[in-house]
Amino acid sequence: MTESDLLGRHRAVLPEWLTLYYSDPIEIVRASGRHVTDSRGRGYLDFFAGILTNALGYDIAEVSDAVRAQLDTGVLHTSTLYLIRNQVELAERIAKLSGIPDAKVFFTNSGTEANETALMLATQYRRSNQVLALRNSYHGRAFGTVGVTGNRGWSASSLSPVKVSYVHGGYRYRGPFSGYSDAEYIAACVQDLRDVLATTTSGDVAALIAEPIQGVGGFNVPPDGLFKAFKQVLDEEGILLVSDEVQTGWGRTGEHFWGIEAHGVTPDIMTFAKGVGNGLAMGGVIARREIMDCLRANSISTFGGNPLATAAAMATLDYLLDNDLQANAAELGERLLRGLRDIGDAHAVVGDVRGKGLMIGLELVVPGGSQPSERAAGIVLEETKSRGLLVGKGGLHGNVIRLAPPMTLTAEETGQALRILGESVAVADREVRETHRPDR
Ligand code: PMP
């Protein structure tokens, strides 16, 4: 079967709203380490899988062995009605890593389900369906999580039952507080939070849910300390802080194990998912005991925390810690950031370079100003692909290139990616300038 047959069949039977990258979408059929091969035999260095699906990269022997050992028992899964050793052990480890006192863990099959659970726990605990979220956020695609997603392009439904108020603090490059110093920005966001609480809520808000660095929103890094300042306001009214660590957890930011740690604050609830099973569906919620146990009804998760996914997650966690991949993320992330800043200095199509560890965004603009250029991002996406590099796209205006390679990245691969990105950004710079020449 050719790829275009598959694309036609995909379009015929899968929902139109499922985003497909590239004008000529690819099917990945083999993978190893940071490298993937498509169905036409073309190879790519994968600079997006680290956050998406595979924190460590593909085909890691230790993870495959752990999954295979579980397969060999004949038990793929038995549901949470029975004891599952892997689940208990992983929960113990994650609870300890969380820094949340007396923490409990509930496993899910996705980030959406983790955040839905977090919202349910927070609203139930506080007996209120009023929630705060950051503008430009993304938390999932189910009924509650679309409500706390503050990005029109990704908020599929406006019919969510959660009553949400949005505050500033996610996206700093544009908006009323752009150009502010860190301290001024934090002060302005805290004032906005107070204003929103006073003017758009009835005073018994359940929680603020936030990504420490917005992912889909374009890898937006707030100043360190913002969430500590927020927490002080929240604590005055007993409002819970939920940190969505789906992209920022597991050492990706290089500095800490969790993204929120950069703010010197411990949240009440954290969620995780995406790359943590290194390819197997895995997510979860961590919360203080009294919050996790506030539900009085019985429940079951048929597949959450299944033995395969938890075996993969445990092996992934071991590999990550044994090889100190957080330090690797810090070192190579710094190198990547420096290289991208040089590329940005040479090309006005790059409006902003930002990030922490292996989570770096490149915001593209029309040269000569700061008008967002989705077209430039589209060109970089296609040009990097044709040169053998897979990257991500995001941002409110679809104009941010997102780099999130597996944490096993090497220095050589970092150099290779920088070379390809330099060439691709140069093409985008040239082409966008052409169409925006004043005489046209
Ligand atoms: N939270 C964040 C921060 C995410 O980036 C995502 C996925 N893009 C989700 C939640 C939802 O995760 P999933 O796609 O596994 O449902």
Q: Give the integer Cα–Cα distance in Å for 88 and 326.
A: 25
Cβ atoms of 145 and 116 within 8 Å: the answer is yes
Q: Give the integer Cα–Cα distance in Å for 113 and 110.
A: 5
Q: Give the integer Cα–Cα distance in Å for 380 and 399.
A: 10
Q: How far is the CA of 345 from the centre of ligand 1 (A)?
A: 32
* DSSP for residue 262: G
| Rounded average pLDDT over 212-225 | 98
pLDDT at residue 155 in the model: 87
Cβ atoms of 342 and 419 within 8 Å: the answer is no
pLDDT at residue 158 in the model: 81
Q: Which residues of 301-322 are buried (b: 16+ CB within 10 A; e: fewer)?
A: bebbbbbbbbbbbbbbbebbee
> Ligand 1: which of 48, 53, 107, 138 to mutate, most ligand atoms within 8 Å of CB?
138
pLDDT at residue 161 in the model: 87
**How many CB atoms sit inside 10 A of residue 295's CB?**
13
Same fold, 3-59+325-436 and 75-323: no
pLDDT at 377 over 80: yes
Instruction: Give the β-pairing of 269-272 and 240-244.
Output: parallel
Query: Is the shortest distance between the CB of 216 and ligand 1 below 6 Å?
Result: yes
Q: Give the integer Cα–Cα distance in Å for 112 and 154.
A: 13
Q: How confident is the model at residue 149 (pLDDT cuts 50, 70, 90)?
A: very high
Q: Give the integer Cα–Cα distance in Å for 223 and 219.
A: 13
Whose C-alpha lies nearest to ligand 1, atom 1?
A: 139
Tokens in use for 16?
């139109």
Query: Is the shortest distance between the CB of 110 and ligand 1 below 6 Å?
Result: yes
pLDDT at 440 over 60: no
Tens-place pLDDT, residues 106-128: 999 999 999 999 999 999 999 99
Instruction: Give the β-pairing of 240-244 and 283-288.
Output: unpaired
Query: Is the shortest distance between the CB of 246 and ligand 1 below 6 Å?
Result: yes
Architecture of domain 75-323: 3-Layer(aba) Sandwich (3.40)
Q: Give the integer Cα–Cα distance in Å for 389 and 377.
A: 14
Q: How far is the CA of 120 from the centre of ligand 1 (A)?
A: 17
CATH superfamily of 3-59+325-436: Aspartate Aminotransferase, domain 1 (3.90.1150.10)
Cα-based distances in Å from 340 to 24, 130, 172: 27, 41, 19
Residue of 37, 55, 41, 26 whose CA lies nearest to 275: 55
Domain ranges of the chain: 3-59+325-436, 75-323
* DSSP for residue 202: -
Tens-place pLDDT, residues 2-46: 667 999 999 999 999 999 999 999 999 999 999 999 999 999 999
**How many CB atoms sit inside 10 A of residue 188's CB?**
16
Tens-place pLDDT, residues 305-338: 999 999 999 999 999 999 999 999 999 999 999 9
Tens-place pLDDT, residues 155-181: 878 888 899 999 999 999 999 999 999
Whose C-alpha lies nearest to ligand 1, atom 14?
A: 111
pLDDT at residue 437 in the model: 75
Tokens in use for 437?
């020449």
Q: How far is the CA of 153 from the centre of ligand 1 (A)?
A: 15
Hey, CA dihedral for 321, 326, 332, 336, is it positive or negative? positive
Strands (E), 258-405: 269-272, 283-288, 350-356, 359-364, 389-390, 392-394, 400-403
pLDDT at residue 369 in the model: 94
pLDDT at residue 436 in the model: 82
Cα-based distances in Å from 15 to 18, 394, 397, 402: 6, 20, 22, 24
Whose C-alpha lies nearest to ligand 1, atom 10?
A: 139
DSSP 265-300: ---SEEEE-GGGGTTS--EEEEEEHHHHTT--S---
pLDDT at residue 279 in the model: 96
* DSSP for residue 158: S
Q: Give the integer Cα–Cα distance in Å for 132 and 224.
A: 20
Cα 345 to the chain's mean position, in Å? Answer: 27
